Structure 1
Amino acid sequence: MVAMSATEPDRLENFPVTFFAVMMGLLGLVLSMTAAEKAAGASGAASQFILGAAVAVFAVLVFFYGLKLVRHPAAVKAEWNHPVRIAFFPTISISLLLLGTALAQRMPDLAYGIWSVGVAAQAILALSVVANWIGHRAFQPIHLSPAWFIPAVGNVVVPLAGVQFGAVELSWLFFSAGLLFWIVLLTLVMNRLIFHEPLPSRLMPTLVILIAPPAVAFVAWIQLTGGVDAFARILINIAYVFALIVLTQAPRFFRLPFALSWWALTFPVAALSVASFVFAHETGSQAHRIIGFTLTAVLAFAVATLVVRTAQAIRAKQICQPE
């Protein structure tokens, strides 16, 4: 991961904000493994180890992107003005929210502090991104992709730990905002996918993001309402429907070259895994429990593969290159 240094200012200038999608994948794996360990009655050693690794990676990413902000503010501004990359800025706040959620049962005081910073950052980034979308810029259909769901997904992550921290009304506020923009963006994204040219190869993996909003919203809804009802069932089954739709495109994925966008595969799978375990716990469904374990295994393999591929790309200096 540490492919940059102060002696390589040009590469630092091209250090992408999309790197924070790696954090969503790692922390998603932590939450998925934690749910799997709880369902299996196992110790939390595996999830604890991955959490430690995720924290170390997050520290490295924050350091280098902070260095980029100080040394190359124009490059950061260019990313903010990029019609696709702007949607990845909330991955920073979502990573904080997920980290707070992962630590909630382990170190509640520290978790609350991290979660609070994440909430503030998510509010600022989500509002800023939406303001940018509806501002003076003229976006084209080609600019739209499932990555635009990221700011909305961040909002529905807030209740995952927010209810435990006693911020119930705040959690409802973010959940409502996330649900609203998910519905709006779903219409726009499906229109783009059906009636316009196919996604560029670098963005094809973002199709998997379609799974994340309903899966995370299901878990958030359970936290907010305390049980599985009709709407909860609708949410989790929508997530399964999108998972099946994405599977129809799987053969195309295997022909694509590696890019950081491949990390977009991980968090949605984690979200669906956790949602499956939550549904199994609430209803006693053995089938959903098996789905949860299967998805966790797939996720662990995917993350391990992507870690290796990312390390290889960094070593070959293929990541921090101008586009």
Structure 2
Amino acid sequence: MPPTAADSAAAPSGLEHYPITLFATTMGLGGFTLALRAGAESLGLGGWPWQAALALTVAVFVLVAAGYALKALRHPAAVVAEWRHPVRLAFFPTVSISLLIIATAALPLYPAVAEAAWLFGTGLQAVLALAVITGWISARAFQQGHLNPAWFIPAVGNVFVPVAGAQMGYVETSFLFFSAGMIFWMVLLTLVFNRLVFHDPMPARLQPTLVIMIAPPAVASIAWLRMTGEMDAFGHILMSLGFVFAALVAVQVPRILRLPFALSFWALSFPVAALTIASLLHHEATGTGGYLWLGAALLAVLSLLIAGLVGRTLLAMVRGEICKPE
């Protein structure tokens, strides 16, 4: 039976403003989990830190997904409005990417469950990426100011599919998604740089999304290593590009950290996690000691970043700063 006006009135305060961007928290926590797992052997961290982080990631994902499902039931018009929003549209694939990250992290512990989650996440990623890109090139009118690095998210999701998919034996599927992610990354990279250089600065709430530029090449290098089994010249180039973009955005970070907190600050977490994992895997594949120390340093930075984001998000929830109209 569909919800009535009385049911909507009884909904929790602010539920209609429950943002799709909350799924960025599970992407960040999941990336942190994978970074801890990458450092389990390389840095002697052991298994319990990443397993505890995995449990936290799954718990947060379930809570966030349940909240958004309730919003969809009580306020479907609000979900449609987010889908039609020129900026928030790009955040819908954070749902499928979160599932893929959880599946990848859980693979050593629960391979059957991880494969089922990966298959569902891959199918959802295909649907969402196709729908988002179709929305971009359809009859809708997007302005130059709507474009921002968050538009990379659908491409990142496609490139992430092979990270676990290749290990499970889905080689052709992995190359298909990798190819789609790479071509849209290159197209969007050109568009985003054009927007950043020749148009007005992005609003303060979107400034943290600049860090997302690190993610596509960093994740692509991890995916390439999983698909080919070696860190060849192309994989090395991809990882190096991750550091190039890290250098570009690093000079912006002090200014970004002075901005008022918003959920978009979680955009800082997953890219740093991806670069951490790429560094540690590069060390394992090549034995280059410098990347071990670099990965360790990045993991320390990521740990502090996650702790700060979790604390600031909890404080924002207590103050009622999350589920409110913008």
TM-score (norm 1): 0.97
Asked if 1:198 corresponds to 2:201, the answer is yes
Cα drift, residue 251 of structure 1: 2.1
Cα drift, residue 12 of structure 1: 0.5
Task: Describe the shift of the 1:289–1:71 C-alpha distance in structure 2 as closer, same or farther (beyond 3 A).
Answer: same
State the distance in 2 between where 1:254 and 1:150 align.
22
Asked if 1:302 corresponds to 2:309, the answer is no
Secondary structure of the 2:14 match is helix
Secondary structure of the 1:240 match is helix
The letter of the residue matching 2:41 is K
Asked if 1:140 corresponds to 2:148, the answer is no
- CA contact 2:151–2:188 (8 Å) conserved in 1: yes
**1:40-79 maps to which residues of 2 (within 5 A)?**
40-79=43-82
- CA contact 2:159–2:181 (8 Å) conserved in 1: yes
Deviating 4+ runs (over 3 angstroms)? 5-10
Gaps of 5+ in 2: 1-7
Percent sequence identity is 55
Deviations 1:22-81 (A, max 9, x none): 000000000001111120233211111111111111110111100000110000000000
Asked if 1:223 corresponds to 2:226, the answer is yes
Match of 2:24 among 15, 21, 25: 21
**1:254-293 maps to which residues of 2 (within 5 A)?**
254-293=257-296
Secondary structure of the 2:306 match is helix
The aligned counterpart of 1:253 is 256
Secondary structure of the 2:168 match is coil
**CA RMSD, Structure 1 to Structure 2 (Å):** 1.2
The letter of the residue matching 1:247 is A
Cα drift, residue 7 of structure 1: 4.9
Secondary structure of the 1:164 match is helix
The aligned counterpart of 2:173 is 170
Cα drift, residue 6 of structure 1: 9.2
The aligned counterpart of 1:120 is 123
Cα drift, residue 131 of structure 1: 0.3
State the distance in 2 between where 1:127 and 1:48 align.
33
Gaps of 5+ in 1: none
Deviations 1:205-253 (A, max 9, x none): 0000000000000000011111111111110111000000011112211
State the distance in 1 between where 2:168 and 2:258 align.
44
Asked if 1:87 corresponds to 2:90, the answer is yes
Asked if 1:150 corresponds to 2:159, the answer is no
Cα drift, residue 10 of structure 1: 4.1
The letter of the residue matching 2:199 is H
Cα drift, residue 287 of structure 1: 0.7
